[in-house]
Amino acid sequence: MALPPIENTPKQQRYDVVIIGGAMIGSSIAWHLTANPDFDGSVLVVERDPTYEFASTTHTNSCIRQQFSMELNIRISQYGVHFIKNFRDLLGGDPEVPEIALHDYGYLYLAGTQDFADYLIECQKLQSSLGAGTRIMTPDEIAAEYPFYNLDGVVLGSHNPIDEGYFDGHTIFDWLRRMARRNGIEYVTNEVTSIQRDGGAITSVTLKSGEVIACGTAVNASGPRASVTAQMAGLDVPVEPRRRYTFIFDAEEPLEKDLPLTIDPTGVHMRSDGQYYLCGCPPDDDPAVAFDDFEADHSIWEEKVWPAIANRVPAFERIKMTNYWIGHYAFNTLDQNAIVGPHPDVENFIFANGFSGHGLQQSPAVGRAVSEWITHGAYQSLDFTPLGIERILEGRPIIEKAVI
């Protein structure tokens, strides 16, 4: 499918919707608008960096889980699963669009304390009431199925081997963007540098190149830069860039079966990655960093990650790290949950921010929800109101303990 090159200058001076940020979330919103039969407006997506060098989307680990403690987060991922498994059909059935596999080896949360075990048991009840395949496993049950673990200190595990694991998020992103463009959405390579308001309404955005583009609705899909974009509209959102480390390693003796996405009590996580393995962790000291700060801290591998994974899987004493990268979470400092929906004082400014470590899997449901809000002024499939910015303004966090 040949598409014309992306220009720097918008074709029009006014759009019904301007989306600020054209990575996974911005593109999912754009594509879902085109798929919404009731939407017939014009849409401009402004993306400052077409290489996506600093975007969260290009640094992701690309996994999806239903193991959340909040019903809405579970349902959001269930739509994500549906979207992944029916990707080609949902995008219109063109045989050029690839099918996307979901490698469902599941997340395996290992509880090292009775408190966390009790929390996982509670969550499992909710998850299974919503149709998720989560099961609580004793250490003996884990050992019988996955003999490669050292389970010292493990009270229990919570594992979901159905519709939970790795998917190719990069391909989904690429095709959502292509199909949004094919369906008439205009992308430009440019940067929104200021936003104009008339009282409680956004009226226009100004681009780095100087054009002032009038808009009916503005969407903040700027990832780790969400607060900079919000401030342009005179609003605050508690989102900041935080570094997250990912390492790929090769094992001298590969495991006999796939390694579930194992979340160790140390906070280190690891999983199979084709013939290799992937692992990662947050740093112990976890400050906000500059938008272009991707500096490596080599002690993390030696001092934190490798000891934790070699302890949990003794075969990983003989491994070789072959690659690593550092990405930024768009970290919501209140509760690490998404912030989605309009601002109560500026109703045509829509947030789609703060996804921390789960924005890729949430992008289909967020795209659908924001497209519904823009089209109908209300959510139609899933009610995203609990994830609105009101909770931030009122200081009411949604606590998810099982975050990675």
Ligand X SMILES: Cc1cc2nc3c(=O)[nH]c(=O)nc-3n(C[C@H](O)[C@H](O)[C@H](O)COP(=O)(O)OP(=O)(O)OC[C@H]3O[C@@H](n4cnc5c(N)ncnc54)[C@H](O)[C@@H]3O)c2cc1C
Cβ nearer to ligand X, comparing 192 with 237: 192
Task: Kindly determine how many residues on this chain lie close enough to bind ligand X according to the rule CB under 6 A.
Answer: 39
244 touches ligand X (CB under 6 A): yes
CA proximity to 61, closest of 223, 221, 278, 266: 278
Query: Which one of residues 282, 357, 364, 388 is an interface residue with ligand X (CB under 6 A)?
Result: 357
Q: Is 296 helix (H, G, I), strand (E, B) or coil?
A: coil
Amino acid at 177: R
What is each CA distance from 56 to 108, 240, 243, 281, in whole angstroms?
Answer: 24, 12, 10, 15
What is each CA distance from 338 to 52, 125, 257, 366, 389, in whole angstroms?
Answer: 21, 23, 34, 9, 9
**Cβ 26 vs Cβ 19: under 8 Å:** yes
For residues 142 and 121, give the distance between their C-alpha atoms in angstroms, rounded to a whole number.
Answer: 16
Query: Which one of residues 15, 31, 34, 56 is an interface residue with ligand X (CB under 6 A)?
Result: 56
**Cβ 341 vs Cβ 367: under 8 Å:** no
**Cβ 79 vs Cβ 32: under 8 Å:** no
Residue nearest to ligand X (CB): 359
**Cβ 218 vs Cβ 195: under 8 Å:** yes
Cβ nearer to ligand X, comparing 176 with 319: 176
Question: Tokens standing for 12?
Answer: 């029009």
Contact pattern for ligand X over residues 174 through 213, marking x by CB under 6 A? -----------------xx---------------------
Amino acid at 163: D
Query: Which one of residues 31, 116, 329, 373 is an interface residue with ligand X (CB under 6 A)?
Result: 329
Query: Which one of residues 59, 75, 159, 197 is an interface residue with ligand X (CB under 6 A)?
Result: 59
For residues 277 and 274, give the distance between their C-alpha atoms in angstroms, rounded to a whole number.
Answer: 7
Question: Of 33-41, 53-61, 93-101, 121-129, which segment contacts ligand X by CB under 6 A?
Answer: 53-61
46 touches ligand X (CB under 6 A): yes
Query: Which one of residues 32, 181, 197, 225 is an interface residue with ligand X (CB under 6 A)?
Result: 225
327 touches ligand X (CB under 6 A): yes
Query: Which one of residues 68, 107, 349, 355 is an interface residue with ligand X (CB under 6 A)?
Result: 355
Amino acid at 351: F
Query: Which one of residues 49, 141, 250, 390 is an interface residue with ligand X (CB under 6 A)?
Result: 49
81 touches ligand X (CB under 6 A): no
Question: Of 42-50, 110-118, 129-137, 140-148, which segment contacts ligand X by CB under 6 A?
Answer: 42-50
Cβ nearer to ligand X, comparing 34 with 73: 73
For residues 403 and 109, give the distance between their C-alpha atoms in angstroms, rounded to a whole number.
Answer: 10
36 touches ligand X (CB under 6 A): no
Question: Tokens standing for 360?
Answer: 């890729």
Report, in angstroms and rounded to the nearest whole number, the Rg of the chain calculated over CA atoms: 21
348 touches ligand X (CB under 6 A): no
Cβ nearer to ligand X, comparing 55 with 308: 55
- ∠ CA 56-221-284, nearest 5°, is 35
Compute the half-sphere exposure of residue 18: CA atoms within 13 Å on the CB side of its CA.
31
78 touches ligand X (CB under 6 A): no
297 touches ligand X (CB under 6 A): no
**Cβ 100 vs Cβ 198: under 8 Å:** no
Element (H, E) at 137: strand 135-137
Query: Which one of residues 34, 36, 61, 78 is an interface residue with ligand X (CB under 6 A)?
Result: 61
What number of other Cβ atoms are within 10 A of residue 51's Cβ? 9
Cβ nearer to ligand X, comparing 114 with 323: 323
Cβ nearer to ligand X, comparing 117 with 338: 338
Cβ nearer to ligand X, comparing 247 with 316: 247
66 touches ligand X (CB under 6 A): no
Cβ nearer to ligand X, comparing 61 with 134: 61
338 touches ligand X (CB under 6 A): no
Using CB under 6 A, list all residues that contact ligand X: 20-21, 23-26, 46-49, 52, 55-57, 59-63, 191-192, 221-225, 229, 244, 246, 327-330, 355, 357-361
